[in-house]
Structure 1
Amino acid sequence: MQLVLLVLHSWAAQAWCVNPRDRSLAVLVAVLWGANFIALDFGLGHFPPFFFAALRFAVLLPVLFFVPRPDVPWKWLLGYGFFFGAMQFAFLFVAMNIGMPTGLASLVQQASAPFTVALGALLLRERITSVQIVGILTAVLGMVVIGWNRAQSAALLPMLITVCGAFSWALGNLCARKANPPNPLHLTLWIAIVPPLPMFAMSAAFEGPTAGLRALTTVFDSTTGWYALAGLAYTSLLASVIGSGLWTTLMGRYPASRVAPFSLLVPVVGFTTAWLVLGEHPDPVELAAGAVVVTGVLLGSLNLKKRRVQEPVLERV
C-alpha cells in the first residue's frame, strides 16, 4: 500500500510540473482520445471494420502534399505505419464490430504501455526497473480478471482481439522509438501511406469486394451514415491530427514522465462518454479489474529514479 501511495504521489508531482496552459492541452488530448472511441463506434455502425480502418488514414493522404517526409529510415516509417496504423486499428475495429464495449475498449488499449516497456527490455535491451516489472504483472492480472469475466458470458474473443491491437500499438511504439524523428508529428501523419492498401485489400477479401464501396455510396441515405461520416471526421482530424499534434508537441517540450500520466485519463473519458452517449453500463467486476489495469499501467510506465539532464525527452510513447 505504501508503494502505491508513493507511486501515486510521484505521478501527481510529475504531472503537476507541467505549466497550467500545457496541462490544459494535455487534458484536452485525453478528452479527444477518450471520446474517439464513440466516433469509432459511430463509424463501425455503417462501415465494415477493415474498410473503415483504411478510410481513416486514406482521408489524410492529401495532407501529405503539404507536409515534408520525416527524415527517418523507411523501414521504421513503414514498420510504425504497419503496426500502429494498420494492425492496431484493424484489431480494434474488428473487436468493436463483434461486440467489444466501447468504454472497455478504451481501457484495454492502455495495455500498450506495459507491453511497450516489456518489449523494449526484450528487443531493445532497455533497462526495466523492479517497479515496472510489478506494474506489468499487475496490469496482466487485471487483464486476466477481465478476460475471465468476459469468458463467463462467451465474450472473450473481442477482448482478446483488443489485446492484440494493444500489442500491435506497442510494436509500433518501438518502431517510432527507433525512428527517432526530428519532428514526431510529420512521422504520425506520414504513416497514412501504409494502412490504406493492405486494409482495402483485406476488406475486399474478408468483407466482400463491394461491401465497402456499397457502404460509401449509401452513406447519405441513413442516419447511421451521417453518424459514420461524423465519426470518420472526428477520428481522422480531431483525434489524429489535432490530438496527436498536441501530444507530440508536449512530448517534445517536457520529459515523457511529466506528460505520459495524462494518458491515464483516456479510459476515464472513454467509460464516461460511453455511459452518457451509448448508455453502456460497465460490469462492476470489470470496473474493479480496470482500476487494477490502470494501476499496473501507471507502475509500468513510471521511472522513480531521477533523470539526468542530458537524457532524451522522447523516451516513452
Structure 2
Amino acid sequence: MERKSHMDLAGAVALTVFAVVLGLNQVVIKLSNGGFQPIFMAGLRSAFAFLVMLAWMRYRGVHHGIRRDLLFPGLVLGLLFTFEFVCLYLALDYTTVSRASIIFYSMPVWLTLVAHFLLPGEQMRAPRALGLALAMAGVIWVLAKPYEGAEASLFGDLLALGAALGWGGIALFLRLHPVSQERPEVQLLWQLGVSMLLLFALAPLFGPLTRDLAAIHWAGLTFQVLAVASFGYLFWFMLLKIYPASGVASFSFLSPVCGVALGWLVLGEEIGPEIIGGLCLVAVGLVLINRKPRIPR
C-alpha cells in the first residue's frame, strides 16, 4: 500500500464518504432504538462485529492477539469502549441526532485539552488554543439551550458528552500504552470482545431487550455491524496508513456536519440557532485544532 505525502482527490472523496457513513450511523442508531433496547443493540453490534472481525482476521492470516500480555490493555480499551457506547446509544434515545452529533464529534477538543497537559510535544500553540476555545464555546452553546420539545433533553446531551469523553479516553490510552503498536484488528477485537460481554450483562438493567421490533431495525443493526463497527473502522485505519494523520484528521469536521444534515433530512429534526451556531463553532474549531503547524524556516 503506497504511502502518500499529501491528501489527494481519492483520499478526500474516501474521507467524505466515511464522514457521511458516520453521520448516517447516528440516524440509524436512533431509528433502530425503536426496535431494540439501546444497550442490548450495542451488545449485538459488538457481538456480530466481533465474529466478522475474527473471520476477516482468519481470512487475512492475522493472529487474533488474545495473549496474556494484552489482558490489561485489552480490558481497559474494552471498558472505555463499553462506556462510550452505553452513553452514545442511550443519548440517541433521549436527544436529537443533530445535538448528539455536534457534542459527540467534539471528541478531538477534549483530547487536545488533556494532551496539552499529559503528552510531551502536544502543547497548544495559538491556532490550536483558538480552535479549542471556539469548539468548546460551540458545545456549551448547544448544552446551554436544550431543545424545547419531546425529542431532546439535557440528560441526553450530557450522555453524548460522556460518549465523546469515552472515545477520547481510548485515543489517549493508545497514545500512552505500547498496545498502540499492535495491529488495528487486534485493538478492535479486544474492544469488541470485552464490550460484547459487558453490554449483554448490563442490558437487562435497562428494561425489555426489544421494543416494536421489525425488519428495518435488523437492517439498521446490519449497517452498524458492517459499515461502522468492523469494516468502517478498518477503512479508517487503512486511510491513516496511506495519508498523513493531519490530513485525515482535518476531515473530522465533516462528521458533525453530516450528522446535523442527515438528522434534518431523514428525521425532520428542527435546526435552531443554537444548532447552526454550535455546529459552525465546533467545525471551525476542529479545523484549527487539526491544522498542521508551519515549521519556521
TM-score by length of 2: 0.85
Is it true that 1:199 corresponds to 2:216 in the alignment?
A: no
For 2:133, the aligned partner's letter is L
Is it true that 1:227 corresponds to 2:222 in the alignment?
A: no
**Distance verdict in 2 for CA 1:181–1:228, change over 3 Å:** farther
What is the rounded CA distance, in whole Å, between the counterparts of 2:84 and 2:199 in structure 1? 12
Is it true that 1:122 corresponds to 2:117 in the alignment?
A: yes
Query: Residue 112 of structure 1: CA displacement?
Result: 0.7
Deviant stretches of 4+, over 4 Å: 151-154
2:17 aligns to what? 28
1:160 aligns to what? 158
1:37 aligns to what? 26
**Distance verdict in 2 for CA 1:92–1:65, change over 3 Å:** closer
Question: Which digits, 9 at most, give the CA deviation of each residue in 1:17-68, with x for residues without a partner?
Answer: 3222222222221111111111111221111121111111011222344322
Query: Residue 182 of structure 1: CA displacement?
Result: 4.3
- 8 A contact 2:40–2:199 mirrored in 1: yes
1:147 aligns to what? 143
Is it true that 1:88 corresponds to 2:84 in the alignment?
A: yes
2:242 aligns to what? 253
Is it true that 1:272 corresponds to 2:268 in the alignment?
A: no
Is it true that 1:54 corresponds to 2:43 in the alignment?
A: yes
1:188 aligns to what? 188
Question: Which digits, 9 at most, give the CA deviation of each residue in 1:118-147, with x for residues without a partner?
Answer: 222333344222222222222111111111
Question: Which digits, 9 at most, give the CA deviation of each residue in 1:70-125, with x for residues without a partner?
Answer: 48833333222221x21111101111112x11122122111111111122233334
2:280 aligns to what? 291
- 8 A contact 2:22–2:255 mirrored in 1: yes
- 8 A contact 1:53–1:89 mirrored in 2: yes
What is the rounded CA distance, in whole Å, between the counterparts of 1:259 and 1:225 in structure 2? 37
- 8 A contact 1:25–1:246 mirrored in 2: no
163-172 or 55-64, which moves further after superposition? 55-64
1:106 aligns to what? 101
- 8 A contact 1:129–1:303 mirrored in 2: no
What is the rounded CA distance, in whole Å, between the counterparts of 1:227 and 1:125 in structure 2? 48
Query: Residue 175 of structure 1: CA displacement?
Result: 2.0
277-286 or 177-186, which moves further after superposition? 177-186
Q: Provide structure 1 residue ranges, at least 5 long, that are not aligned to the other structure.
A: 1-15, 308-317
Query: Residue 156 of structure 1: CA displacement?
Result: 1.6
**Distance verdict in 2 for CA 1:273–1:151, change over 3 Å:** closer
Is it true that 1:79 corresponds to 2:76 in the alignment?
A: yes
1:313 aligns to what? none
Q: How many residues align?
A: 280
> Could you tell me the percent identity over the aligned residues?
25
Question: Which digits, 9 at most, give the CA deviation of each residue in 1:154-185, with x for residues without a partner?
Answer: 82221111111101110011123332234224
What is the rounded CA distance, in whole Å, between the counterparts of 1:194 and 1:262 in structure 2? 30
- 8 A contact 2:106–2:164 mirrored in 1: yes
Is it true that 1:173 corresponds to 2:168 in the alignment?
A: no
**Distance verdict in 2 for CA 1:290–1:79, change over 3 Å:** same
Q: Provide structure 2 residue ranges, at least 5 long, that are not aligned to the other structure.
A: 58-62
What is the rounded CA distance, in whole Å, between the counterparts of 2:139 and 2:261 in structure 1? 20
What is the rounded CA distance, in whole Å, between the counterparts of 1:268 and 1:143 in structure 2? 14
Query: Residue 187 of structure 1: CA displacement?
Result: 1.8
Corresponding residue SS for 2:36: coil
TM-score by length of 1: 0.80
Query: Residue 152 of structure 1: CA displacement?
Result: 6.8
